Every structure is written in structure tokens, then in C-alpha cells.
Amino acid sequence: MRVSPLLLAALCATAVPGLQAQETPAEPPPDTALALRPGMNEADVLQRWGEPIAIRRLNNWTYLFYENGTEAEGGYHDTVFLQDGRVVDVIIRASGRMYLGQSSSPEGRLPEITLPSRAPTDTTVAPVGGVRVNPPVNPKPE
């Protein structure tokens, strides 16, 4: 019986394990159980990421600061910004943490001037342009 060279090559390729096509294992999906999402409240953040190293509050804003191990190089803690008690932005430098919203400062973004996109709609509040101090009025001698 005569075997064709093509059939012999096909049999050899399937018999040698190193020549078989290796299936690439799919990357596991990222663990989103600990990820932060826009709109979460402070309790949700603390449950997922634990206690921050610092909390700062000003008016209706809350800032949660977390160590990330890159403070010496990057100069910044991982920071969660909450407005009216809800997550509106997150800056992350530590691996293993995830924000499912659009961060205002994704890793690798270079500093640049960011101008306001529109004028404020609330006309009752205006930025302070300066302070005028009036000296006390001295009463005229009689």
C-alpha cells in the first residue's frame, strides 16, 4: 500500500502535540464586584474599597482619599469625588481598583488647561473677584 506524502504529513502533524494548534485561554473578565459606578453613595464606596486614609467635605462635595502605592511617582492618592452624596468622578492610579464611569483623569493623561464648557446657569452665585474693605466711618467731632 502506498501512502501519499500529503496524508503522511497530516498524520504526523496531528500526532505531534507541539504542532497542534493551541487554544488561547480567554482572559477572565475583570472582577467588577469591587468596582465603583457613577451614582453610588458613600456607604457603597466604603463597602467596596474600605476606609480611606482621609475624608474631606466642603459644601455638597465629599472627597475620599485612598493609598495607591504610587504617591511618590504620581503625587496623588486614588480619589473618589462625591457630589450630594453620590459618586461623580474617580481618579485611580492603583492596579486592582476599577471605576465603571468616565474618569476625568485617566492614567496617562497629560496635564492641560481645561476651560469651562459653558457659563453657569445659576445667576445668583458668582465667583468672587475681590473683596472691598471699607474703613470705619469716623464720627465728625461736634
pLDDT band at 19 (very low <50, low <70, confident <90, very high): very low
Q: Which of 137, 97, 5 is nearest to 80 (CA)?
A: 97
CATH of segment(s) 36-100: 3.30.1450
Give the type of residue at 24. Answer: T
Read off the pLDDT of residues 104-120 as tens digits, 9 standing for 90 and up: 877 666 666 767 676 65
- Greater confidence (17 vs 90) lies with 90
Read off the pLDDT of residues 48-73 as tens digits, 9 standing for 90 and up: 999 999 999 999 999 999 988 877 77
For the chain, the domains span 36-100
Q: What is the pLDDT of residue 28?
A: 46
Residue 6 CA to residue 17 CA, distance in Å, equals 19
Q: Which of 102, 76, 109, 67 is nearest to 87 (CA)?
A: 102
Q: What is the pLDDT of residue 2?
A: 61
Beta strands in the chain (DSSP E): 54-58, 61-66, 78-83, 86-91
